[in-house]
Amino acid sequence: MSSLLNTLGKHFPECSKGDLIPVLQHVQDQEGYISSNAIREISEYLNISCSTIYGVATFYSQFKFNPPGRHSIKICLGTACHVQGGDFILSALQMEIGIAPGSTTEDGRFDLERVACLGCCAIAPVMMVDNDIHSRLSVIKLRQILSNYE
């Protein structure tokens, strides 16, 4: 893990507290998410307390605190998808894989995230698994789709 400290030292030699957000972004790029260990290391490096870093990080939706799953599901809850029953799909999805948005399944298969509009409102409700768009979702279709991702 001290390799993290090394790269921090390289990219942020100033060690300034104002670098917190770029540092968090950098760590997320490197490791895919912000782990509690990473927060501890950043805390040491920038001399900011873990709680404060966590507070700042949780304020922005861009940061994740769980390791990404093998497949990332983004479920749309934008206006069009909402009207077409997006939240139903979300509930069904949650039941199916057993996790809430913002987390990763225990077996590391999926992580789940909700987004505001995927830009294809005409075929709502939609979700994206990795880079594939799945449209006009229904509860029945959902299972089938998921079974394609191991």
Partner 1 sequence: MKSDKGTYISVEIDGKRIQVPEGSTVLDAAASAGIYIPTLCYLKGLKSYGGCRLCIVEIKNMIGYPTACTTPVTNEMEISTKSPELQSIRREILELILSEHPYSCLICNDKKECQDFMHTIRKVTVTTGCNFCTSNGGCELQDLVEYLDLKDIRFPITYRNVQAVNNNPFYDLDYNLCILCGRCVRICNEERYSGVLAFVQRGNSTLVGTAFGESQIEAGCEYCGACVDVCPTGSLSEKMGSWVGVPTDSTTSICILCSVGCKMNINTKGNRIVNIGPRPGKRTEPDQLCIRGKFIPADITHHPERITKPLINKNGIWLEITWNQAIDLITKHFKKFTGKEFGIIGSAHDTIENSYALQKFCRVVMGSNNIDLSPTYNDLSLFKKVQGFQPVGIDEIIGFDTILIIGSNASVSHPIIENRIRKAYHHGAKIITAHSHLNRTHQFSNERIIYHPGSENIFLLQILNDLKTAQNIKFPKDISDALKLIDTKGAATATGIKQAQIRKITESLAPAKKILIIAGDTLFKSSLSNDNFNLLSNIYFALNNFADCEMMFLVDDGNRFGATYIGMHPEYLPGFLEVRNGAKKWSEAWGIDIPPVSGLSAEEMLSNLPGNNFKSLFLKGDLPNHEKLDELEFFVQQNMFITETSKYADILLPAYCFTESNGHIINIERNLKQINPAVHAPESIKPTWQILSNISQKLKNKSFKYRKTDEIYEEITAKLDLSIDKTTRKTSKPELSMPDIKIPGKKRKIEMIPEPDYFLYQGNSMSKLIPDLKQLIDNKGGKHG
Q: Binding residues for ligand FES, per CB under 6 A?
A: 76, 78-81, 117-121, 124, 126
Provide, rounded to whole angstroms, the least separation between the CB of residue 145 and partner 1: 30
- Choose between 21 and 117: whose C-beta lies nearer to ligand FES: 117
Per-residue binding letters, 51-80, with partner 1 (x by CB under 8 A):
xxxxxx-xxxx---x---------------
Q: Using CB positions, name the residue nearest to ligand FES.
A: 78
Per partner kind, with CB cut-offs from 5 to 8 A, the member of partner 1, ligand FES, none near residue 47 is partner 1
Phi, then psi, of 111 in degrees rounded to 5:
-120, 155
What is the smallest separation between the CB atom of 117 and ligand FES, expressed in angstroms? 3
Q: Report the distance separating Cα 116 and Cα 101, nearest Å.
A: 13
For the CB of residue 82, give the shortest distance to ligand FES in the complex, in Å.
Answer: 7
- Amino acid at position 117, single letter: C
Of 94, 114, 112, the residue nearest 103 (C-alpha): 112
Q: How far is CA 102 from CA 8, 63, 67, 72, in A?
A: 26, 10, 10, 11
103, 97 in Cβ contact below 8 A? no
Nearer to partner 1, 58 or 138 (CB): 58
Whole-number minimum distance, CB 132 to ligand FES, in Å?
14
**Residue spans of alpha helices (H) in the chain:** 2-11, 20-31, 36-46, 50-59, 79-83, 86-97, 139-147
Question: Under the rule (CB under 8 A), what is the footprint of partner 1?
Answer: 36, 39-40, 47-56, 58-61, 65
